[in-house]
Chains A and B, each alone.
Chain A
Amino acid sequence: MNHAWVGPPPHEGSCAVVDGCLTCGDVAVPVKVLEAAEPDAVCEDEHGRRGTVGVELVSPVRAGDRLLVHGGVAISRLERSA
């Protein structure tokens, strides 16, 4: 699994231009935790794509938590699920 939260890039050497550069810029992706584990949790983005995310900076996490991911690492949490 990789961190392809933005889906496959149009071609090598280019980010997904239409949706912005989600990997190297000041943009991050909201995801939901499916399997809580540390240091890497399995998460899913809005399009149903799954991948592992480093969660050391927002731990502890649990299934259902919503996180903001940048560069494969969660930098913030959006909310804690009820």
Chain B
Amino acid sequence: MRYVDEFRDANLARTLSTQIAAVAEPGRHYKVMEVCGGHTHTIYKHGIEDHLPETIELVHGPGCPVCVIPMGRVDDGISIARRPGVIFTCFGDMMRVPGGDGSLLDAKAQGADVRFVYSPLDALKVARLNPEREVVFYAIGFETTAPSTALTLMRAKAEGLTNFSVMCNHVTIVPPLKALLESPDLRLDAFIGPGHVSTVIGCRPYEFIPADYGQPVVVAGFEPLDLLQAVYMIMLQLAEGRSEIENQYGRVVPWEGNLRALEVLQEVFELRPYFEWRGLGFISQSALKLSDAYRDFDAELRFDVPGVRVADPKACQCGEVLKGVIKPWECKVFGTACTPETPIGTCMVSSEGACAAYYNFGRFARSTARAGS
């Protein structure tokens, strides 16, 4: 298929692999963070690390939108879902995320009307078809996903729908990057920038990374050759002493982003003063809520939600995984108590989560993980 096959060419991959090895400085250890969970997924699905010198370490970042949702927010969603007359809609992965008192799937099993949708527009259809019910969409995701929620709300408002609302958990990518760069736990050399977030926000928001921290950023696509080429571009920058933003994913990502999408986000959302990220704690101005013009559609205002904080399970080390401090298999419960079927932590729930990627694609056998723990 066009845009897919040509980015999986094995010969080109071998050439890139050789070029990367050639520019790697002997004796130097490189730490490169792929911010996006989609990249993590590609890296392990296609065995990208096997084509890199051992001195290049790929560190998995916090870019899986499911993985960063704190347990308290899950509980808040479940409290709405359990209300009589409510149809609660969300993306599929979100249904299995454990809160402090079970998951949305558990709530569904206990009688709540929880339905998964592929798009917030589908949730809107549910609302149109069920005018006597309250339909709530549990919105998650970075700037890639927020425009679809925004458009849905604009349509709901234009249609005058009064039985539709959104519990907004949209987050923004730049604040956690700043938090990571300020973290004493982690010393990175460069970033592989998120491809589809950048489709919306463009490349300029990353300018602070080379300017203030002297680290290269290469925005990359999601095919194997995209990632290998991005690593090569990073290695060239480091070898030449440059730190710049480069756009490897130019076939999709405009430098300025999608200006219409940014306008839509501006109209429908505003920044929250702060938001709790799983594993990263509270980060100021890192998430979105509905703007005053759309407050009538805000599920958190329409329904009384508990808003309590729930501490992560002690055994779970998702926080360290999300910050790239430990590898998934170094977590004590990886592959034993915590599996995709019975996840303890969010990183094992979503297929974009680093733990699930490790688990599903066999980067480390469970026996190996146990032996290493």
Contacts and interface: CB of A to CB of B under 8 A. Distances in A.
Contacts of A15: 91-93, 350-351
A48 to B, nearest CB: 11
Interface string A65-82: 010101111011010000
A33 interface: no
B98 interface: no
Contact of B119 (A12, A21, A23, A30): A23
Interface string B103-135: 011000000000011111110000000000000
A9 B92 CA distance: 9
B357 to A, nearest CB: 9
Chain A binding surface, main DSSP class: loop
A6 B253 CA distance: 22
Contacts of A68: 196, 199, 252
Query: Which size bracket describes the interface of A in this complex?
Result: 35 or more
Nearest to B41: A20
Interface string B78-104: 000000000000011111100000001
Contacts of A12: 92, 95, 105, 116
Contacts of B45: 18, 20
Contact of A25 (B64, B149, B155): B64
Nearest to A22: B118
Given A39-B155, A75-B258, A28 B196 contact: yes
B341 to A, nearest CB: 10
A69 to B, nearest CB: 9
B264 interface: yes
A72 B356 contact: no
A46 B251 CA distance: 18
Given A3-B119, A13-B92, A70-B148, A24 B155 contact: no
B1 A46 contact: yes
A27 B1 CA distance: 17
B37 A30 contact: no
A6 B116 CA distance: 14
Q: Which of B149, B254, B350 has the most CB atoms of chain A within a 10 A radius of its CB?
A: B350
A17 B360 contact: yes
Contact of A27 (B2, B38, B105, B261): B38
B39 to A, nearest CB: 8
Contact of B194 (A26, A30, A75): A26
Contact of A24 (B140, B197, B252, B261): B140
Given A15-B351, A46-B4, A78-B252, A71 B92 contact: no
Contact of A75 (B65, B200, B351): B200
Contacts of A6: 118
B340 A17 contact: yes
Contacts of A20: 38, 41-42, 45, 351-352
A73 B264 CA distance: 13
A25 B215 CA distance: 25
Interface of B: 1-4, 36-38, 41-42, 45, 63-66, 91-96, 104-105, 116-122, 140-142, 144-145, 147-149, 151, 155, 194-197, 199-200, 222, 251-254, 258, 260-261, 264, 340, 350-352, 356, 360
Given A28-B196, A72-B118, 15 more contacts: A3-B119, A5-B118, A12-B92, A13-B95, A20-B45, A21-B352, A23-B93, A24-B93, A25-B64, A26-B38, A26-B196, A30-B3, A71-B141, A75-B199, A76-B199
